[in-house]
Amino acid sequence: VSLFRLTPQREAVLDVVRRATDHPTALQILNRVRQGTPSIGVATVYRALDLLVAHGAIKELTLGDRGSARYDGNPKPHQHVRCTRCGRVADVSIELPRAAASAAEAASGFTVTSYDVQFSGVCAECTR
């Protein structure tokens, strides 16, 4: 856990990601940060996101979108459900049984250290 400078720009990015509940993309984060810090550049946001991910402060998600990553302000292990109709993503706090990771190790020969589960379905709004 090394140190890094929490500059105003980085703090603004972290703030936006933490406050977000919709798992925004980098460019969405850029737009939100610009409401308070209009002069911030694209590169700064990308570099801040990489840094925050590397330090475990936030998580990077690659959900079903082609060509863009999304970010999650909750660094604790948790899973996601995605609505196939409207694209909404919600958090789910569940843990897989030990046996799942063990089975994966046995089947692949890998040493498994973590996992991500993405459920797909239809959200309450879209079902209605």
Partner DNA sequence: GTCCCTGCAAAAGTTTTGCATTGCG
Partner DNA sequence: CGCAATGCAAAACTTTTGCAGGGAC
Summarize as ranges the residues that interact with a copy of itself (CB under 8 A). 60, 62-69, 79, 81, 83-84, 90-94, 96-97, 100-101, 103-105, 107-124, 127
Give the integer Cα–Cα distance in Å for 79 and 94: 7
Give the integer Cα–Cα distance in Å for 128 and 122: 10
- 48 part of the interface to DNA, by CB under 7 A: yes
- 34 part of the interface to DNA, by CB under 7 A: no
Site for DNA in 57-86 (CB under 7 A): 66-69
* Residue from the set 10, 23, 80, 82 that interacts with DNA by CB under 7 A: 10
* CB-CB contact of 23 with 59 (8 Å): no
**2, 68, 120 from 64: Cα distances, Å:** 32, 9, 10
Binding site for DNA (CB under 7 A): 4-5, 7-10, 25-27, 37, 39-44, 46-48, 50, 66-69
